[in-house]
Structures are given as C-alpha cells and as structure tokens.
Amino acid sequence: MILKCSRLGHPVLRQRAEDVPVDDVLAGNYDDLVEDMFETMEAYRGVGLAGPQVHLPLRIFVFDSKERDDGRGATPRRGVVFNGTYEAEGDAKLVESEGCLSVPFLGGQVPRYEKVRLRGIDGEGNAIDWLAEGFVARIFQHEVDHTDGLVYLDRMPDLRSLGYTLVL
C-alpha cells in the first residue's frame, strides 16, 4: 500500500522520532509497514524513506541506493534500518545535490560526510555496523536526519543553490 508522504511544515518532520523496541522487530510487528514503505519509496521514485516521512514518529528507514557500495563496510544496496545512528569516519565532506520526498520539486547543494559508520538494527532484529561511502553514506545521513527531526535544508550553509528540480 502506498502511504501518504508528509511535507515540509508538518510537525512530525521536526520532532525526534521514538526508538522501535527490538522485541517488536523480532516479532515481525513492522513487516507490513516495511513493505509499504518500500512500495511508497518506489512509487515516489526515492532512494530512501523514513518513518516521519509517512507520518510515523518512529526511528525506521528504508533505502535502495540502486547501486552497491562495496567499500570496506560492504553495505547492502537495499534494506531497512531501525534505530539508526551514524558517526563520521574522518572529516572529509562532499557537497552534492540533494532532494527530498517531503520537500517536493526542490533541490540544493548539501555537504555530507564522505564516509560514515551506521549503527542500528536490521529487519530481523540483528545489530548492524556498516561503513558506508559516497552515495550510500549520503542516503544514511539524510534518513537518520529525518528521524532526528532535520531536513536537508537544515544542512545547507547557503540556500542560494536551492532551486526547482522539475519544470512546471
């Protein structure tokens, strides 16, 4: 089922989401939601989607990088993460264009860490500790930010690069 995507201005996007109990993940209580989130992300042509973006203040996100980043962390190209957090691996940042399903038709240049270590829980309740680089690292930072109540606009040091991504 395709879920309704929350848009910038909705309070759910600006609050820190609640942790998901590991026992609930193990019991499969979120399996249908995860499936719906993947379907929604694909319908909107996104590469990531977090709980707050579908009006749920939960620390969950799905992702599909459409590529595989086989760096030292061997991060999967597609998956679900519960209770995700990240730490920068080094100080190097890349400034690249970013958009968001909750801020439709706009994009801008956003600095993000080139490499991050993502920790959390996978869809089977197993602890994850992935080292991600490049595009996958960008996705992880963007989606964890959503669960912390941030949007990519908050990371932009200069809004002059903000512009429409779709010609109407």
Instruction: Judge whether 128 lies within some domain.
Output: yes
Closest Cα partner for 81 from 119, 35, 45, 132?
119
CA gap 139, 134 in Å, rounded = 9
In terms of C-beta density within 10 A (0-12 exposed, 13-18 middle, 19 or more buried), how is residue 11 classed? exposed
Structural domain total, the chain = 1
The residue range of the domain holding 90 is: 11-164
As a whole number, mean pLDDT of residues 62-69 equals 78
Query: Is 1 a member of any domain?
Result: no
Tens digits of residue pLDDT in 74-130: 578 899 999 999 999 999 999 999 999 999 999 999 999 999 999 999 999 999 999
6 falls within a domain: no
Q: Is residue 151 part of a domain?
A: yes
Mean pLDDT of 46-55: 97
pTM value is: 0.94
What's the pLDDT score for residue 106?
A: 96
What CATH number should be reported for the domain holding residue 40? Answer: 3.90.45.10
* pLDDT score at 68: 52
3 located within any domain: no
Mean pLDDT in residue range 150-162:
96
CA dihedral 84, 89, 92, 94 (to 10 degrees): -30
**Residue 68 is assigned to a structural domain of this protein:** yes
Catalytic residues: 143
Q: Among residues of the chain, what percentage have pLDDT more than 70?
A: 93
What is the pLDDT at residue 167? 54
**Is 41 within a domain?**
yes
What would the mean pLDDT of 39-47 be, rounded to a whole number?
A: 96
Beta-carbon contacts of 48 under 8 Å, excluding residues fewer than 6 positions away, are 41, 61, 62, 63, 64, 139, 142, 143
- Position 2 in a domain: no
Say how many Å lie between the first and final Cα of the chain, rounded.
28
